[in-house]
Amino acid sequence: MDYRRIEELARKFERNFGTREGLRCSRAPGRVNLIGEHTDYNGGFVMPMAVDREVRVFFRPAPDGPVRLWAENMGEWDEFDLDDIQPNPQQAWSNYARGVAHVLGKAGVEVSPVEGIIYGDVPIGAGLSSSAALEVAVAKALCTAAGSEPEPRRLALLCQRAENEFVGVNCGIMDQFVSVHARAQHALLLDCRSLEHEQLPLDTSAVRVIVCNTMVHHELGSSAYNERRAACEEAARLLDREVGGIEQLRDVTQQMLREHGRALAEVTRRRARHVVTENARTLQAAEALKRADYERFGRLMDGSHESLRDDYEVSCGELDLMVEMARRQPGVLGARMVGAGFGGCTVNLVRAEDAEAFMPAVADAYRQQTDIEPDVYECVAVEGARVERC
Protein backbone atom coordinates (compact mmCIF):
# COMPACT_ATOMS: atom_id res chain seq x y z
CA MET A 1 0.00 0.00 0.00
CA ASP A 2 1.26 3.45 -0.94
CA TYR A 3 3.03 5.14 1.99
CA ARG A 4 1.20 8.43 1.29
CA ARG A 5 -2.09 6.62 1.70
CA ILE A 6 -0.85 5.13 4.96
CA GLU A 7 0.20 8.54 6.26
CA GLU A 8 -3.14 10.02 5.24
CA LEU A 9 -4.97 7.30 7.19
CA ALA A 10 -2.77 7.76 10.24
CA ARG A 11 -3.63 11.49 10.15
CA LYS A 12 -7.30 10.66 9.84
CA PHE A 13 -6.94 8.38 12.86
CA GLU A 14 -5.54 11.28 14.83
CA ARG A 15 -8.44 13.54 13.78
CA ASN A 16 -11.02 10.90 14.70
CA PHE A 17 -9.56 9.66 17.95
CA GLY A 18 -7.56 12.64 19.18
CA THR A 19 -4.11 11.06 19.24
CA ARG A 20 -1.67 8.85 17.43
CA GLU A 21 -0.20 7.52 20.59
CA GLY A 22 -0.23 3.74 20.76
CA LEU A 23 -1.32 3.56 17.11
CA ARG A 24 -0.69 0.20 15.53
CA CYS A 25 -1.46 -1.37 12.23
CA SER A 26 -2.82 -4.85 11.67
CA ARG A 27 -2.28 -6.07 8.10
CA ALA A 28 -3.68 -9.07 6.30
CA PRO A 29 -3.23 -9.81 2.60
CA GLY A 30 -5.73 -10.95 -0.02
CA ARG A 31 -4.80 -13.97 -2.11
CA VAL A 32 -4.78 -15.34 -5.57
CA ASN A 33 -5.22 -19.05 -5.98
CA LEU A 34 -2.81 -20.47 -8.55
CA ILE A 35 -4.60 -23.80 -8.77
CA GLY A 36 -6.98 -25.99 -6.74
CA GLU A 37 -10.37 -24.29 -7.12
CA HIS A 38 -13.48 -25.47 -5.30
CA THR A 39 -11.49 -28.21 -3.66
CA ASP A 40 -11.00 -26.78 -0.15
CA TYR A 41 -14.48 -27.64 1.12
CA ASN A 42 -14.02 -31.15 -0.27
CA GLY A 43 -10.99 -31.75 1.95
CA GLY A 44 -8.74 -31.38 -1.09
CA PHE A 45 -5.64 -29.45 -2.17
CA VAL A 46 -5.20 -25.78 -3.01
CA MET A 47 -2.22 -23.63 -3.97
CA PRO A 48 -2.80 -19.94 -3.26
CA MET A 49 -0.29 -17.16 -2.67
CA ALA A 50 -0.88 -13.98 -0.67
CA VAL A 51 -0.82 -10.85 -2.84
CA ASP A 52 0.38 -7.30 -2.34
CA ARG A 53 -3.21 -6.10 -1.87
CA GLU A 54 -4.28 -6.03 1.74
CA VAL A 55 -6.64 -4.88 4.46
CA ARG A 56 -5.16 -2.70 7.18
CA VAL A 57 -6.69 -1.86 10.53
CA PHE A 58 -5.12 1.22 12.10
CA PHE A 59 -6.03 0.76 15.74
CA ARG A 60 -5.44 1.53 19.36
CA PRO A 61 -6.73 -0.43 22.36
CA ALA A 62 -9.80 1.20 23.90
CA PRO A 63 -10.15 -0.90 27.07
CA ASP A 64 -13.22 0.83 28.47
CA GLY A 65 -15.12 1.48 25.31
CA PRO A 66 -17.10 -0.41 22.76
CA VAL A 67 -15.31 -1.47 19.55
CA ARG A 68 -15.45 1.58 17.25
CA LEU A 69 -14.49 1.18 13.63
CA TRP A 70 -14.52 3.54 10.66
CA ALA A 71 -14.56 1.73 7.30
CA GLU A 72 -12.76 4.08 4.95
CA ASN A 73 -13.83 2.22 1.78
CA MET A 74 -17.50 2.38 2.76
CA GLY A 75 -17.52 5.77 4.51
CA GLU A 76 -19.32 4.21 7.49
CA TRP A 77 -18.95 3.85 11.24
CA ASP A 78 -19.75 0.78 13.26
CA GLU A 79 -19.80 0.37 17.01
CA PHE A 80 -20.52 -2.69 19.15
CA ASP A 81 -19.95 -4.07 22.63
CA LEU A 82 -17.84 -7.20 22.94
CA ASP A 83 -20.23 -8.75 25.44
CA ASP A 84 -23.33 -8.38 23.27
CA ILE A 85 -22.56 -8.88 19.60
CA GLN A 86 -25.52 -8.96 17.23
CA PRO A 87 -25.45 -9.07 13.42
CA ASN A 88 -25.80 -5.68 11.76
CA PRO A 89 -28.33 -6.02 8.93
CA GLN A 90 -27.58 -2.52 7.56
CA GLN A 91 -23.83 -2.84 7.08
CA ALA A 92 -22.66 -6.06 5.50
CA TRP A 93 -18.96 -5.25 6.01
CA SER A 94 -19.31 -4.83 9.76
CA ASN A 95 -20.51 -8.40 10.20
CA TYR A 96 -17.03 -9.65 9.31
CA ALA A 97 -15.63 -7.65 12.22
CA ARG A 98 -18.48 -8.50 14.55
CA GLY A 99 -18.37 -12.16 13.53
CA VAL A 100 -14.68 -12.45 14.26
CA ALA A 101 -15.05 -10.76 17.65
CA HIS A 102 -17.98 -13.02 18.49
CA VAL A 103 -16.32 -16.28 17.43
CA LEU A 104 -12.96 -15.50 19.05
CA GLY A 105 -14.67 -14.60 22.33
CA LYS A 106 -16.83 -17.72 22.28
CA ALA A 107 -13.78 -19.89 21.65
CA GLY A 108 -12.11 -18.44 24.75
CA VAL A 109 -9.51 -16.35 22.92
CA GLU A 110 -8.90 -13.10 24.80
CA VAL A 111 -10.03 -10.08 22.80
CA SER A 112 -10.24 -6.49 23.87
CA PRO A 113 -11.98 -3.43 22.33
CA VAL A 114 -10.18 -1.21 19.86
CA GLU A 115 -10.93 2.03 18.05
CA GLY A 116 -9.70 2.17 14.53
CA ILE A 117 -9.87 2.76 10.83
CA ILE A 118 -10.15 -0.06 8.33
CA TYR A 119 -8.88 0.38 4.81
CA GLY A 120 -8.32 -2.19 2.10
CA ASP A 121 -7.05 -2.20 -1.47
CA VAL A 122 -8.11 -5.78 -2.20
CA PRO A 123 -10.85 -5.38 -4.82
CA ILE A 124 -14.18 -6.39 -3.27
CA GLY A 125 -16.08 -9.30 -4.80
CA ALA A 126 -13.36 -10.01 -7.34
CA GLY A 127 -12.25 -13.43 -6.12
CA LEU A 128 -9.12 -12.15 -4.33
CA SER A 129 -10.57 -12.72 -0.90
CA SER A 130 -11.09 -9.29 0.56
CA SER A 131 -13.36 -10.85 3.20
CA ALA A 132 -10.73 -13.19 4.63
CA ALA A 133 -8.24 -10.30 4.69
CA LEU A 134 -10.75 -8.21 6.62
CA GLU A 135 -11.47 -11.02 9.09
CA VAL A 136 -7.83 -11.77 9.76
CA ALA A 137 -6.80 -8.10 10.09
CA VAL A 138 -9.61 -7.39 12.56
CA ALA A 139 -8.95 -10.59 14.51
CA LYS A 140 -5.28 -9.73 14.93
CA ALA A 141 -6.13 -6.22 16.09
CA LEU A 142 -8.60 -7.45 18.72
CA CYS A 143 -6.16 -10.10 19.98
CA THR A 144 -3.19 -7.73 20.07
CA ALA A 145 -5.25 -5.25 22.11
CA ALA A 146 -5.82 -8.02 24.67
CA GLY A 147 -2.22 -9.24 24.55
CA SER A 148 -3.26 -12.65 23.22
CA GLU A 149 -1.74 -14.46 20.28
CA PRO A 150 -3.70 -17.51 19.15
CA GLU A 151 -1.75 -20.09 17.22
CA PRO A 152 -1.90 -19.21 13.46
CA ARG A 153 -3.83 -22.30 12.43
CA ARG A 154 -6.42 -21.71 15.16
CA LEU A 155 -6.74 -18.08 14.14
CA ALA A 156 -7.41 -19.09 10.52
CA LEU A 157 -10.02 -21.67 11.56
CA LEU A 158 -11.81 -19.19 13.82
CA CYS A 159 -11.93 -16.57 11.08
CA GLN A 160 -13.40 -19.17 8.74
CA ARG A 161 -15.96 -20.04 11.40
CA ALA A 162 -16.92 -16.37 11.71
CA GLU A 163 -17.65 -16.27 7.99
CA ASN A 164 -19.58 -19.56 8.10
CA GLU A 165 -21.61 -18.93 11.21
CA PHE A 166 -21.94 -15.18 11.56
CA VAL A 167 -21.80 -13.86 7.99
CA GLY A 168 -23.53 -16.97 6.65
CA VAL A 169 -21.13 -17.79 3.80
CA ASN A 170 -20.19 -21.42 3.76
CA CYS A 171 -16.60 -20.90 2.55
CA GLY A 172 -13.71 -23.35 2.95
CA ILE A 173 -10.43 -22.74 4.78
CA MET A 174 -8.16 -21.67 1.90
CA ASP A 175 -8.48 -17.89 2.10
CA GLN A 176 -8.05 -17.40 5.83
CA PHE A 177 -5.30 -19.99 6.00
CA VAL A 178 -3.12 -18.37 3.37
CA SER A 179 -3.77 -14.87 4.68
CA VAL A 180 -2.30 -16.02 8.00
CA HIS A 181 0.46 -18.42 6.84
CA ALA A 182 1.78 -17.01 3.56
CA ARG A 183 5.46 -16.50 2.98
CA ALA A 184 6.93 -13.89 0.61
CA GLN A 185 7.98 -15.23 -2.82
CA HIS A 186 6.22 -18.53 -2.18
CA ALA A 187 3.00 -20.26 -3.07
CA LEU A 188 1.39 -22.37 -0.37
CA LEU A 189 0.38 -25.96 -1.06
CA LEU A 190 -2.29 -26.76 1.50
CA ASP A 191 -3.97 -30.04 2.31
CA CYS A 192 -7.34 -28.70 3.41
CA ARG A 193 -8.16 -31.80 5.40
CA SER A 194 -5.04 -32.22 7.55
CA LEU A 195 -3.99 -28.56 7.19
CA GLU A 196 -0.47 -29.78 6.46
CA HIS A 197 1.20 -27.29 4.17
CA GLU A 198 4.32 -26.65 2.22
CA GLN A 199 5.85 -23.39 1.00
CA LEU A 200 6.89 -23.64 -2.66
CA PRO A 201 9.24 -20.98 -4.08
CA LEU A 202 8.09 -18.94 -7.07
CA ASP A 203 10.95 -17.67 -9.19
CA THR A 204 9.96 -14.20 -10.40
CA SER A 205 13.01 -14.00 -12.63
CA ALA A 206 11.32 -16.74 -14.67
CA VAL A 207 7.57 -16.10 -14.35
CA ARG A 208 5.12 -13.49 -13.15
CA VAL A 209 1.61 -13.79 -11.81
CA ILE A 210 -0.82 -11.38 -13.43
CA VAL A 211 -4.38 -10.84 -12.36
CA CYS A 212 -7.05 -9.57 -14.75
CA ASN A 213 -10.25 -8.26 -13.22
CA THR A 214 -13.20 -8.60 -15.62
CA MET A 215 -15.01 -5.98 -13.52
CA VAL A 216 -18.21 -8.03 -13.67
CA HIS A 217 -19.83 -9.75 -10.75
CA HIS A 218 -22.86 -11.93 -11.38
CA GLU A 219 -25.20 -12.07 -8.46
CA LEU A 220 -25.98 -15.78 -8.43
CA GLY A 221 -22.54 -16.27 -6.90
CA SER A 222 -23.36 -17.19 -3.31
CA SER A 223 -26.38 -19.41 -3.97
CA ALA A 224 -24.48 -21.24 -6.70
CA TYR A 225 -21.56 -21.71 -4.30
CA ASN A 226 -23.80 -23.39 -1.74
CA GLU A 227 -25.43 -25.49 -4.46
CA ARG A 228 -22.04 -26.72 -5.67
CA ARG A 229 -21.09 -27.65 -2.11
CA ALA A 230 -24.33 -29.57 -1.71
CA ALA A 231 -23.74 -31.43 -5.00
CA CYS A 232 -20.25 -32.42 -3.82
CA GLU A 233 -21.58 -33.73 -0.52
CA GLU A 234 -24.27 -35.67 -2.32
CA ALA A 235 -21.70 -37.20 -4.70
CA ALA A 236 -19.51 -38.24 -1.77
CA ARG A 237 -22.47 -39.81 0.02
CA LEU A 238 -23.58 -41.80 -3.03
CA LEU A 239 -20.06 -42.96 -3.85
CA ASP A 240 -19.56 -43.99 -0.26
CA ARG A 241 -22.59 -46.24 -0.62
CA GLU A 242 -20.96 -47.84 -3.68
CA VAL A 243 -17.36 -48.24 -2.51
CA GLY A 244 -17.23 -47.35 1.19
CA GLY A 245 -14.60 -45.30 2.98
CA ILE A 246 -15.55 -42.03 1.27
CA GLU A 247 -15.99 -39.11 3.61
CA GLN A 248 -15.42 -36.33 1.13
CA LEU A 249 -14.64 -36.10 -2.59
CA ARG A 250 -11.02 -35.91 -1.52
CA ASP A 251 -11.21 -39.68 -1.02
CA VAL A 252 -12.39 -40.38 -4.57
CA THR A 253 -9.93 -41.30 -7.33
CA GLN A 254 -10.42 -40.82 -11.04
CA GLN A 255 -10.65 -44.55 -11.51
CA MET A 256 -13.33 -44.88 -8.83
CA LEU A 257 -15.34 -42.21 -10.55
CA ARG A 258 -15.02 -43.98 -13.92
CA GLU A 259 -16.14 -47.27 -12.39
CA HIS A 260 -18.91 -46.06 -10.11
CA GLY A 261 -19.90 -42.71 -11.63
CA ARG A 262 -23.12 -44.26 -12.92
CA ALA A 263 -24.47 -44.07 -9.39
CA LEU A 264 -24.58 -40.28 -9.82
CA ALA A 265 -26.87 -38.10 -11.90
CA GLU A 266 -25.07 -36.67 -14.93
CA VAL A 267 -24.66 -33.16 -13.49
CA THR A 268 -23.51 -34.41 -10.09
CA ARG A 269 -20.99 -36.66 -11.85
CA ARG A 270 -19.50 -33.68 -13.66
CA ARG A 271 -19.29 -31.69 -10.42
CA ALA A 272 -17.45 -34.58 -8.79
CA ARG A 273 -15.19 -35.01 -11.82
CA HIS A 274 -14.07 -31.41 -11.51
CA VAL A 275 -13.09 -31.84 -7.88
CA VAL A 276 -11.34 -35.16 -8.39
CA THR A 277 -9.36 -34.01 -11.42
CA GLU A 278 -8.59 -30.62 -9.83
CA ASN A 279 -7.06 -32.31 -6.81
CA ALA A 280 -4.87 -34.37 -9.13
CA ARG A 281 -3.90 -31.27 -11.13
CA THR A 282 -2.97 -29.39 -7.97
CA LEU A 283 -0.63 -32.12 -6.78
CA GLN A 284 0.91 -32.34 -10.26
CA ALA A 285 1.30 -28.57 -10.27
CA ALA A 286 3.17 -28.74 -6.97
CA GLU A 287 5.57 -31.27 -8.49
CA ALA A 288 6.01 -29.08 -11.55
CA LEU A 289 6.75 -26.06 -9.38
CA LYS A 290 9.41 -27.96 -7.47
CA ARG A 291 11.12 -28.73 -10.79
CA ALA A 292 10.59 -25.12 -11.95
CA ASP A 293 8.67 -26.61 -14.88
CA TYR A 294 6.47 -23.59 -15.52
CA GLU A 295 5.21 -24.81 -18.91
CA ARG A 296 3.69 -27.84 -17.24
CA PHE A 297 2.32 -25.68 -14.43
CA GLY A 298 0.65 -23.39 -16.98
CA ARG A 299 -0.94 -26.30 -18.85
CA LEU A 300 -2.41 -27.54 -15.57
CA MET A 301 -3.87 -24.05 -14.96
CA ASP A 302 -5.45 -24.19 -18.42
CA GLY A 303 -6.92 -27.59 -17.58
CA SER A 304 -8.31 -26.16 -14.37
CA HIS A 305 -10.15 -23.44 -16.28
CA GLU A 306 -11.66 -25.91 -18.74
CA SER A 307 -12.86 -28.08 -15.88
CA LEU A 308 -14.33 -25.14 -13.94
CA ARG A 309 -16.06 -23.94 -17.11
CA ASP A 310 -17.42 -27.23 -18.44
CA ASP A 311 -17.77 -29.59 -15.48
CA TYR A 312 -18.25 -27.29 -12.50
CA GLU A 313 -19.96 -24.52 -14.50
CA VAL A 314 -18.86 -21.60 -12.36
CA SER A 315 -17.25 -19.51 -15.11
CA CYS A 316 -19.06 -16.86 -17.18
CA GLY A 317 -18.74 -15.25 -20.60
CA GLU A 318 -16.44 -12.45 -19.41
CA LEU A 319 -14.07 -14.81 -17.58
CA ASP A 320 -13.90 -17.14 -20.59
CA LEU A 321 -13.22 -14.18 -22.84
CA MET A 322 -10.47 -12.82 -20.59
CA VAL A 323 -8.83 -16.26 -20.54
CA GLU A 324 -9.10 -16.54 -24.31
CA MET A 325 -7.62 -13.06 -24.85
CA ALA A 326 -4.77 -13.89 -22.47
CA ARG A 327 -3.91 -17.10 -24.26
CA ARG A 328 -3.41 -15.18 -27.51
CA GLN A 329 -0.60 -13.10 -25.99
CA PRO A 330 3.06 -14.08 -26.26
CA GLY A 331 4.65 -15.63 -23.20
CA VAL A 332 1.45 -16.80 -21.52
CA LEU A 333 1.95 -20.20 -19.92
CA GLY A 334 -1.46 -20.61 -18.28
CA ALA A 335 -4.68 -18.68 -17.67
CA ARG A 336 -7.75 -19.48 -15.64
CA MET A 337 -10.58 -18.02 -13.60
CA VAL A 338 -9.87 -17.65 -9.90
CA GLY A 339 -11.98 -17.87 -6.73
CA ALA A 340 -15.62 -18.82 -6.47
CA GLY A 341 -16.45 -17.74 -10.04
CA PHE A 342 -19.32 -15.97 -11.87
CA GLY A 343 -17.14 -12.92 -12.44
CA GLY A 344 -14.16 -11.38 -10.76
CA CYS A 345 -10.62 -12.16 -11.81
CA THR A 346 -8.50 -14.48 -13.87
CA VAL A 347 -4.97 -15.47 -12.91
CA ASN A 348 -2.25 -15.76 -15.53
CA LEU A 349 1.22 -17.22 -15.43
CA VAL A 350 3.38 -15.22 -17.83
CA ARG A 351 7.06 -15.43 -18.69
CA ALA A 352 8.89 -12.65 -16.87
CA GLU A 353 10.21 -11.05 -20.03
CA ASP A 354 6.73 -10.85 -21.57
CA ALA A 355 4.85 -9.59 -18.50
CA GLU A 356 5.12 -5.84 -19.23
CA ALA A 357 3.73 -6.18 -22.74
CA PHE A 358 1.09 -8.69 -21.69
CA MET A 359 -0.77 -6.33 -19.38
CA PRO A 360 -1.82 -3.55 -21.79
CA ALA A 361 -2.31 -6.06 -24.61
CA VAL A 362 -4.80 -8.21 -22.76
CA ALA A 363 -6.57 -5.13 -21.38
CA ASP A 364 -6.97 -3.69 -24.92
CA ALA A 365 -8.24 -6.97 -26.29
CA TYR A 366 -10.82 -7.34 -23.51
CA ARG A 367 -11.95 -3.71 -23.78
CA GLN A 368 -12.43 -4.01 -27.53
CA GLN A 369 -14.71 -6.99 -27.11
CA THR A 370 -16.73 -5.84 -24.12
CA ASP A 371 -16.47 -2.04 -23.81
CA ILE A 372 -15.45 -2.69 -20.21
CA GLU A 373 -12.16 -1.30 -18.88
CA PRO A 374 -10.54 -4.19 -16.99
CA ASP A 375 -8.10 -3.84 -14.14
CA VAL A 376 -4.89 -5.75 -14.95
CA TYR A 377 -1.90 -5.91 -12.65
CA GLU A 378 1.01 -8.00 -11.55
CA CYS A 379 0.77 -9.60 -8.11
CA VAL A 380 3.76 -10.25 -5.91
CA ALA A 381 3.71 -13.05 -3.34
CA VAL A 382 3.91 -11.44 0.10
CA GLU A 383 4.15 -12.40 3.76
CA GLY A 384 1.04 -13.33 5.76
CA ALA A 385 -0.75 -11.20 8.38
CA ARG A 386 1.11 -9.26 11.06
CA VAL A 387 0.78 -6.32 13.43
CA GLU A 388 3.20 -3.40 13.26
CA ARG A 389 3.79 -0.15 15.06
CA CYS A 390 2.66 2.77 12.96
Helix spans in 252-292 (H): 254-260, 266-290
Considering the complex, state which of residue 150 and residue 339 has its C-beta at the smaller distance from ligand GLA: 339
- Could you list the beta-strand ranges (E) of the chain: 24-35, 45-61, 67-71, 76-80, 114-120, 186-191, 197-201, 207-217, 332-337, 343-351, 375-379, 386-389
What is the footprint of ligand GLA within residues 128-167 (CB under 6 A)?
A: 129
Point out the catalytic residue in the list 175, 251, 302, 354.
Answer: 175
Considering the complex, state which of residue 9 and residue 49 has its C-beta at the smaller distance from ligand GLA: 49
Helix/strand/coil percentages in the chain, nearest 5: 45, 25, 30
User: DSSP label at 123?
Assistant: P
Considering the complex, state which of residue 179 and residue 348 has its C-beta at the smaller distance from ligand GLA: 179
- Decide if 87 contacts 166 (C-beta within 8 A): yes
Query: To the nearest whole angstrom, how small is the minimum distance from the Cβ of residue 244 to ligand GLA?
Result: 27
Query: To the nearest whole angstrom, how small is the minimum distance from the Cβ of residue 18 to ligand GLA?
Result: 38
- Residue 45 in the binding site for ligand GLA (CB under 6 A): no
d(CA 31, CA 64) in angstroms, rounded, equals 35
Give the one residue of 61, 116, 150, 339 binding ligand GLA; rule: CB under 6 A: 339
d(CA 318, CA 314) in angstroms, rounded, equals 12
- Residue 174 in the binding site for ligand GLA (CB under 6 A): yes
Considering the complex, state which of residue 60 and residue 273 has its C-beta at the smaller distance from ligand GLA: 273
Considering the complex, state which of residue 159 and residue 200 has its C-beta at the smaller distance from ligand GLA: 159
Query: To the nearest whole angstrom, how small is the minimum distance from the Cβ of residue 283 to ligand GLA?
Result: 16
Site string for ligand GLA, 285-324 (x = CB under 6 A): ----------------------------------------
- Decide if 354 contacts 390 (C-beta within 8 A): no
Query: To the nearest whole angstrom, how small is the minimum distance from the Cβ of residue 165 to ligand GLA?
Result: 14
What is the footprint of ligand GLA within residues 72-131 (CB under 6 A)?
A: 129
Considering the complex, state which of residue 154 and residue 328 has its C-beta at the smaller distance from ligand GLA: 154
- Residue 273 in the binding site for ligand GLA (CB under 6 A): no
Mark whether 175 is an active-site residue.
yes
Q: Please enumerate, as own/partner, the contacts of 105-110 that have beta carbons within 8 Å and a separation of 24 or more.
A: 107/154, 107/158, 107/161, 109/143, 109/148, 109/150, 109/154, 109/158, 110/143, 110/146, 110/147, 110/148
Query: To the nearest whole angstrom, how small is the minimum distance from the Cβ of residue 132 to ligand GLA?
Result: 7
Residues at the contact surface with ligand GLA, assessed by CB under 6 A: 37-38, 40-41, 129, 171-172, 174-175, 339-340
Known catalytic residues?
A: 175
